[in-house]
Amino acid sequence: MMQTIPLYQTTGISGFRITRIRTVARSGKATEIKGQDECAKAVRREERLSRRGCGGRRQMVITIERRHAVCPDCGSTKAKYYKAGVRLIQCQGFGRLKAFVEVAVHHIYCPECRSMSYEHLEFLTNPRARITRALEKEIVEKRRKMSITDVADDLGVSRQVVREAEIRALELKYRRVPLKGVRRIGIDEVYVFHEERGGRQFITVVRDLDTGRVLNVSRGKGEDALKMFASRLRRSGVAAEIECVAMDMANAFANFVRHSLPDALVVFDHFHVVKMINDIINKIRRAAMAKINAETRQALKELNLSKEERNVAKKLEKKIKDRQEKAKDVLKGNMKLPLMNKEDLEKDPKAKAKLAKMLEEYSDLGKAYLLKEELRSIYANAKTPVAAKALLEAWIAKARASDVGHLETMANTMEKNLEGVLGFWRFPGATNAKTEGFNNKIRWLVKQAYGYRDYRYFRLKVLDLPNLKPRESDY
Ligand SMILES: [Zn+2]
């Protein structure tokens, strides 16, 4: 049989020879291809048809057979091959013309070493693969720059095949994430699965703060979510080398650190501390809104009581309405104001005036706002742990004296975790500063719609996230 096309160069298959090439139409009608000319003609024809939008009706089928039928165990040439079936496996196409290799698979019996086995096809990544290793490789390479749909269209495979190829490649890549050399880690829980309940709404991500690598992704939150990671730490014996762990002050991972990393210092990140006071500001603002509503309701109740004095009531009603509107105007629609940073406000005099009014009328909010700015200033200006400690202690005293419940609670939390907060100055590298950006990327992944339906894929994509360009769209 003449070699019509070079098998290895076009399909990445070696050790086999071509016995027959044909194109098969959708109707099942086969046309034999005898020489290179006919082959090129078929490819050009498909190209032409695709341009007109009616391609894909023909496929090329390349029948191949093994060159040397030897025993896979001892290499004996006396091995007997018994045909067990025929498989059709998609390989890289020729331009727009899809191509498949047709290959018989065998039971093998070797009289020399008396072994029985089933033929293994070396050009597949796994026994059940529907595409060749070379095509799989091409899919994975293209997937780095293209969406699933685009890769599927380009290579003439289904989206499912693209997904499976990518999953296999990622699984191979992240089967073992080495922990050697890791010194500083950050642990964070990310709220991603809104449809779920309780802990299942979260994933817990462990990252190497020095390299940005993702070391572990697991479902759930708290110590439970880190069970597997804890046992990996034990087995790899690197626990003693880890100096510090950055996390938020919610302390959900305190037990994990105590049990698995007793020598590591917990560092509470700047980003989490500022987020904590921002959350407080939101709570206070919401409480103020609720109070206004309650007051209005109360006033209306009293209005009903003095029903007989209609004129007075009407006046009252108007007064209440005015007051309500005024108060709501100040708070509503200005939700973001107290969260804005001083520098940004300087650029926006209108917002600045609005905020000043808001803070004057609602003193709790004013106190929280000032304390937030002070905290930010400490992070920006304190240069040494000693200086930071003095400033933070003064801050805690002020927060405690604020007479605002939430701020007092935060003061206690800060005092209890002061060593961890100071870790920001002791370990300048141990910051989750990039965490917020990373968490946004995770949420973006979820939006690409594969997060929820296919957790296995999602988890692999999170592990691979540091290598992903942020502006990829359409999955
Ligand atoms: Zn043998």
For 439-469, what is each residue's pLDDT tens digit?
Answer: 888 888 887 765 557 788 889 988 988 887 6
Give domain status of residue 294, yes or no.
yes
Say how many Å lie between the CA of residue 75 and the centre of ligand 1. Answer: 6
Backbone φ and ψ for 245, nearest 5 degrees, come out as -125, 120
The DSSP string of 271-287 is HHHHHHHHHHHHHHHHH
Last residue of a domain, one of 123, 138, 156: 123
In a domain, 254, yes or no: yes
pLDDT score, position 353:
73
pLDDT at residue 34, as a whole number: 86
Ligand 1 centre to CA of 455 (Å) is: 43
pLDDT band at 220 (very low <50, low <70, confident <90, very high): confident
CA of 78 to the centre of ligand 1 (A): 8
Mean pLDDT of 210-239: 88
One-character DSSP codes across 442-464: HHHHHHTT-TTT-HHHHHHHHHT
Look at residue 472 and tell me if it is in a domain. Answer: no
Burial of 58 (0-12, 13-18, 19+ CB in 10 A): buried
Last residue of a domain, one of 123, 138, 155: 123
Instruction: Examine the pLDDT at 1 and tell me if it is beyond 60.
Output: no
**473, part of any domain:** no
Asked whether residue 345 is assigned to any structural domain, the reply reads yes
Question: Which segment, 159-173, 358-372, 403-417, is predicted with the most confidence on average?
Answer: 159-173
Q: Residue 119 Cα, ligand 1 centroid: separation in angstroms?
A: 13
How many Å lie between the centroid of ligand 1 and the Cα of residue 211?
49
70 Cα: distance to centroid of ligand 1 (angstroms): 8
Mean model confidence pLDDT for the chain: 83
pLDDT for 332 beyond 70: no
- Work out the burial of residue 351: count CB atoms within 10 Å of its CB; fewer than 13 is exposed, 13-18 middle, 19 or more buried: middle
In a domain, 222, yes or no: yes
Residue 33 included in any domain = yes
- Looking at residues 312-331, what average pLDDT do you find? 68
In a domain, 179, yes or no: no
In this structure, which long-range contacts are made by residues 7-11, counting pairs with CB atoms below 8 Å and at least 24 apart in sequence? 7/62, 7/64, 10/91, 10/92, 10/94, 10/99, 11/62, 11/91, 11/92, 11/99, 11/101, 11/123, 11/132, 11/134
| Among candidate residues 6, 30, 29, 9, the one with its CA nearest the CA of residue 18 | 6
- 76: CA distance to ligand 1 center in Å? 5
Same domain, 306 and 412: yes
Q: How far is the CA of 66 from the centre of ligand 1 (A)?
A: 17
CATH number at residue 460: 3.30.420.10
Residue 321 scores a pLDDT above 80 = no
Q: Compute, in angstroms, the gap from residue 16 CA to the centroid of ligand 1.
A: 20
117 CA to centre of ligand 1 in angstroms: 10
In total, how many domains does the chain have? 4
Q: Are residues 208 and 308 in the same domain?
A: no
- Predicted local distance difference test score (pLDDT) of residue 2: 47
Q: Kindly give the distance from the C-alpha atom of residue 107 to the centroid of ligand 1, in angstroms, as a whole number.
A: 13
Q: Is 409 found in the same domain as 328?
A: yes
Q: State mean pLDDT over 384-407.
A: 87
Note down the domain range covering 155.
Answer: 126-173
> Residue 86 C-alpha to ligand 1 middle, in angstroms?
23
| Kind of pairing between the strands at 244-247 and 184-191 | parallel
Q: What is the structure's pLDDT at 450?
A: 57
Residues 251 and 284 placed together within one structural domain of the fold? no
pTM strictly above 0.75 = no
Burial of 137 per CB tally in 10 Å (0-12, 13-18, 19+): middle
6 CA → ligand 1 middle, Å: 31
User: Does residue 289 sit in the same domain as residue 409?
Assistant: yes
Q: What is the Å distance from ligand 1's center to 118 Cα?
A: 13
Residues 415 and 307 in one domain: yes
Which amino acid is it at 283?
Answer: K
Ligand 1 center–CA 74 separation, angstroms: 4
AA identity, residue 273: V
Q: Answer yes or no: do 18 and 109 share one domain.
A: yes
Interval 88-107 mean pLDDT: 92
Is the domain of 107 the same as that of 135? no
**Residue 112 and residue 37 share a domain:** yes
Contacts of residue 99, defined as CB under 8 A and 6 or more positions apart, other chains included, come to 10, 11, 59, 60, 61, 62, 90, 91, 92, 93
Range 418-422, long-range pairs (CB < 8 A, 24+ positions): 418/389, 418/392, 418/393, 419/265, 419/266, 420/249, 420/265, 420/266, 420/267, 420/268, 421/249, 421/268, 421/273, 421/392, 422/385, 422/388, 422/389, 422/392
Q: Is the model more confident about 176 or about 308?
A: 176
Mean pLDDT of the region 238-249: 85
Higher-confidence residue of 370 and 90: namely: 90
* Residue 103 CB neighbour total at 10 angstroms: 23
If asked whether residues 318 and 417 sit together in one domain, one would say yes
In this structure, the answer to whether residues 159 and 289 fall within a common structural domain is no
> How many C-beta atoms surround the C-beta of residue 203 within 10 A?
24
Q: What are φ and ψ of residue 219, in 5° steps?
A: -80, 145
- Please indicate, yes or no, whether residues 88 and 40 belong to a single structural domain of this protein: yes
